Structure 1
Amino acid sequence: MTQGFDTLQIHAGAEPDPATGARQVPIYQTTAYAFRDADHAAALFNLQEVGYIYSRLTNPTVAALQNRMAALEGGAGAVCCSSGHAAQIMALFPLMAPGMNIVASNRLYGGTITQFSQTFKRFGWSCTFVDLDDEAAVKATIDENTRAIFCETIANPGGYVTDVPAMAKIADAAGIPLIVDNTSATPALARPIDMGATLVVHSMTKYLTGNGTVTGGCVVDSGKFDWSASDKFPSLSAPEPAYHGLKFHETFGELAFTFHSIAIGLRDLGMTLNPQAAHYTLMGIETLSLRMAKHVENARAVAQWLEADPRIDAVTWPGLESSPYYKRGQQIVPKGAGALFTVSVKGGYDACVKLVDSLKLFSHVANLGDTRSLIIHSASTTHRQLTEDQQRAAGAAPEVVRLSIGTEDPADLIADLDQALTAATA
């Protein structure tokens, strides 16, 4: 029986605990698991049987979260890890090798741009950043060593909405996967796999948990990509020496990527999600659709008020009819354009700093997706490592602040912004 999203966000991956009857998923705070006998242990280590070995690899609390994430995104399987940045590495690890490259949007989160442009070099990987609105440029950038296209559903922080079906079509033609970061939209607002994405990554730290308590990341696999169609992805199609020549795609089919990410990715990279963080995230997801509806409602009220304020030059929320991404947003995120956007303040850099320092209800933190409304001046914090040209391309110019609209009373948020803008532009 097919179940609705609101049912899945509560029930998927979670059954009453067979040992105790506990209805909420227990926190399995254990490092290791007892084997029934020597044959059972050997079968687990040979990947001949699914089960628990060691919590760097698998844990029942984390497994429940993985199953829930796969259900919500419409994927075949999922693997959870320690952060959103870890999820990006986990997504690319089975695909890449020294000399390989990816093509990515030039409007990504600043930390992602740094990871892709700087840290990747240490692995012998490279990344070319392209304006994904220019489909011809995307196609021209792909070469024989390209192993993926990477984008965000709604870019953090600039309000850019990606044409996911168009990117999926280009990726399919090139025989490579499309990886979509769905953090800003969440599966409550958009399901990239339904639009052709191969892999979906999340920083679960944000809206999925929703309360600013723990960090976490996730990679959801569509299960639809043919890893054996070419010799581009030997980690998944060729014999694996560590498992006596086992071929992941041949053996596990649609779950090849998921099994590889656990059996090799978590085994060797060790970017494990702890069970308590998984528990907090499971609890947060139970109210995801309710919270996202309120986030969107509040974002609309605040964005419309800011757009009409003479102290503001521009608002980038793609739910505004004035946004160049409004029509695309109606197609990609029809339930709402999220609650993350930027605001250009008259008075530039100095006015932005004064605005941040004058707010009382908004919290000045380097996070987003909290029930609390948050603000940050990206150019001096999250995007400060970028050049001004890169900052502007990413939607984080010096005169811009990023707002993450929470679930408070919108009148209170507007009143706080009003008094702070008065102080900032006096």
Structure 2
Amino acid sequence: MSTETEPKLGFDTLQVHAGADPDPATGARQVPIYQTTAYVFRDADHAAALFNLQEVGYIYSRLTNPTVAALQTRIATLEGGAGAVCCSSGHAAQIMALFPLMAPGKNVVASTKLYGGTVQQFSNTIRKFGWSAKFVDFDDLDAVKAAIDDDTRAVFCESVANPGGYITDIPAIAAISDDAGIPLIVDNTSATPYLCRPIELGATLVVHSTTKYLTGNGTVTGGAIVDSGKFNWSANDKFPSLSAPEPAYHGIKFHEALGPMAFTFHGIAVGLRDLGMTMNPQAAHYTLMGIETLSLRMARHVENAVKVATWLENDPRVDFVTYAGLPSSPYHDRVAKICPKGAGGLFTFAVKGGYEACVKLVNALKIFSHVANLGDTRSLVIHSASTTHRQLTPEQQEAAGAAPNVVRLSIGIEDAADLIADLDQALAAATA
């Protein structure tokens, strides 16, 4: 659940070792899959102490599980957070992140440049809870400030936005959030903590779809919420679930009792208990194994993305490429500050010929897999306007970077020359 005091180890060491001590019962070196529903209490007092949050341990796998706990420690360590909660998907992580902060009538200020599923979740689904979202262009800092009102309880953005690969000026947005006394939530799925460290840049909470780059092999879904442990939940009366007696947990004041771990423990003791968005231990195991090679994979994703994006930008059959790693990108100047190890492996490009040419290109690709996913070792392609962003209005599609003439690429770790050859033949078929 939390990060223990770690020596100053490098990222490559922590991605292998954080949260993964040898199993005390068997000596197993890899984290075992604890495939169990419940855990035997030593006695009645032990059970009571666990339920009172007086002792950390395992009660029931909807709440806590040793395999999942190891993953939580690893992700929190890599992000530089106080603690983390893992759950069933990235969408679940977003709801889990908002759950302790929101109430009926409250709103979140969100970037227009978000994954289409997030725009849909924030536009429609959260309204069923009585919550709402205000969508703002986060490149317009004055508009972000103006959108925040007395009922705003969070600001939400992506570090590297899906699908366009746009980079958010996190320190600037964090300064606005701090002035308003509300947390900044950053979705770091596309960048991962290897490329971007949102907490060091001022974020309060970081969310992930662990389905993507953290797992990296397209096998399991999952989500994570990392708390910086730095936000003062008791500074005002905006966050009663954390600062006031919590009626959903025998009146405990989470922030007063648990300090920097308040948000994390609330996510487990109330969020997972009542929403049940639980990550299963096998999914946690796959993700732990994936993270062991995270830095190696991300470096190759970036290396390949630079080569492919540069080739596409110079091809006359392409109108434009959105990759922030290109000097021509309006977001290029942010790379060194926000993502110093590279702009990631996700971007879009516009095909001359529009919607129909995009469809032909997708159908003609052979190495690129046409799937609704990103962050795989395999290179992936999708036409966002007809799939992941189909439920949005044309205006929302345009704002999110998913216009009808645009194709999204998630660049894998294959040979870059092979990826370029595949795109070359597909563009020939699309624009013939």
Which band: TM-score by shorter chain?
over 0.9
**Equivalent position amino acid for 1:158 in 2:** G
Partner of 1:67: 73
Q: Distance in 2 between matches of 1:128 and 1:329?
A: 27
Alignment of 1:21-420 (within 5 A): 21-420=27-426
- 1:135 & 1:321 partners in 2: Cα distance? 23
State how far apart, in whole Å, the 2-side matches of 1:191 and 1:387 are. 32
State the SS of the aligned residue for 2:145. Answer: helix
CA distance in 1, matches of 2:38, 2:338: 43
**Offset at 1:246?**
1.1
Distance in 1 (CA, whole Å) between partners of 2:312 and 2:363 is 18
Distance of 1:49 and 1:316 partners within structure 2: 50
Preserved contact between residue 110 and residue 155 of structure 2 (Cα < 8 Å): yes
1:424 to 391, 407, 430: 430
Secondary structure, in 3 states, of the residue corresponding to 2:392? coil
**Partner Cα separation in structure 2 for residue 38 and residue 351 of structure 1:** 67
Q: Which amino acid aligns with 2:297?
A: R
The residue type equivalent to 1:289 in the other structure is S
1:7 aligns with 2:13: yes
Give the superposed CA RMSD. 0.5
Map Cα deviations across residues 230-276 of structure 1 (whole Å, 9 max, x no partner).
00000000012243321000000000000000000000000000000
Q: Name the CA distance, whole Å, in 1 between partners of 2:328 and 2:340.
A: 16
Task: Give me the whole-angstrom Cα distance separating, in 1, the residues matched to 2:371 and 2:249.
Answer: 45
SS of corresponding position for 2:408 = strand
1:244 maps to a residue whose letter is H
Q: CA deviation at 1:45?
A: 1.0
Give 1:96 deviation, angstroms: 0.2
Code of the residue aligned with 1:176 in structure 2: it is I
> How far apart, in 2, do the equivalents of 1:154 and 1:296 lie?
13
Deviations 1:143-180 (A, max 9, x none): 00000000000100112110000011000000000000
**Per-residue CA distance 1:209-239 (angstroms, 9 max, x = gap):** 0000000000000000000000000000001
Q: How far apart in 1 are the matches of 2:73 and 2:317?
A: 47
User: Structure 2 counterpart of 1:286, which letter?
Assistant: E
* AA matched with 1:392: E
Stretches (4+) displaced over 3 A: none
* Matched length: 426
TM-score (norm 1): 0.99
Query: What is aligned with 2:3?
Result: none
Question: Can you give the 5+ residue segments of structure 2 that lack an aligned partner in the other structure?
Answer: 1-6
Query: How far does the alpha carbon of each residue in 1:9-38 deviate from its partner, in whole angstroms, 9 at most, with x for none?
Result: 000011000000000000000000000011
Q: Which one-letter code corresponds to 1:189 in the other structure?
A: L
1:303 deviates by 0.3
Percent pairwise identity: 80
Contact 2:249 2:270 in 1 (8 A): no
Question: Structure 2 length as normaliser, TM-score?
Answer: 0.98
CA distance in 1, matches of 2:24, 2:319: 58
Once residues 316 and 223 of structure 1 are traced to their aligned partners in structure 2, the CA distance between those partners, rounded to angstroms, is 34
Structure 2 CA distance, aligned partners of 1:244 and 1:399? 54
**Aligned-partner residue type, residue 227 of structure 2:** D
Separation in 1 of the partners of 2:306 and 2:61?
42
Q: Distance in 1 between matches of 2:28 and 2:112?
A: 47
